[in-house]
Amino acid sequence: MADRTIPSDASIWPQDLSKTMVCDGRIASQIVEDFGVFVKLREVTKTAFNEYGDPVESYTDSFIKAYIHQWTMNDDAVKEGLYKDGEIMFVFRKEDEAKILPGNRLFYENLWYKVTRVQPQKMSGRTYLVNATVAIVQSN
């Protein structure tokens, strides 16, 4: 009978994880594409000051797709203290990372949200999703 053991130098996983579909973001981006919704993104810049010395905001609006999640006590991440019960997170594709910055605004279902924290999700040194924790704001 022939030896049927796998040699110790053999591997069933790809040798370079950065070349897999998960790590290059294609599967994660497809989840946002399939289950996400279009939201208005307001990229905010402070370019000038008014006569009182307050910064004046200028902005550019565009539409972008995001998956929206509201954390609850049933989520393990809330139980572990990573997020708070009721906290809202918008999840974006890796291609949108440059547009998702703290201070930018998102408009969805007649509410404006301000991006408070951005967390790129990385695997093998590559971003595959961008999480943006938000807070509801009263004005744009």
Q: What CATH number does residue 112 fall under? A: 2.40.10
**Percent of the chain's residues with pLDDT above 70:** 80
User: Taking a C-beta distance cutoff of 8 angstroms, is the pair 106, 6 a contact?
Assistant: no
Is 9 part of a structural domain of the chain? no
Give the integer Cα–Cα distance in Å for 66 and 77.
20
- Is residue 118 in a domain? yes
56 domain-assigned:
no
Between CA 92 and CA 70 the distance in angstroms is: 15
Q: Is residue 8 part of a domain?
A: no
Q: Which residues form the domain of 135?
A: 64-140
Instruction: Kindly report, residue by residue over 22-31, the tens digit of the pLDDT.
Output: 445 567 778 8
Residue 119 within any structural domain of the chain: yes
Q: State how far the Cα of 116 lies from the Cα of 77, in Å rounded to an integer.
A: 18
Note whether residue 104 is domain-resident: yes
Tell me, yes or no, whether 99 lies in a domain: yes
pLDDT tens-digit map of 65-119: 999 999 999 989 889 988 899 999 999 998 999 999 999 999 999 999 999 999 9
pLDDT-based confidence at 140, cuts 50/70/90? low
What domain count does the chain have? 1
- Domain for residue 116, yes or no? yes
DSSP codes, 15-38: S-GGGSTTTTTHHHHHHHHHH-EE
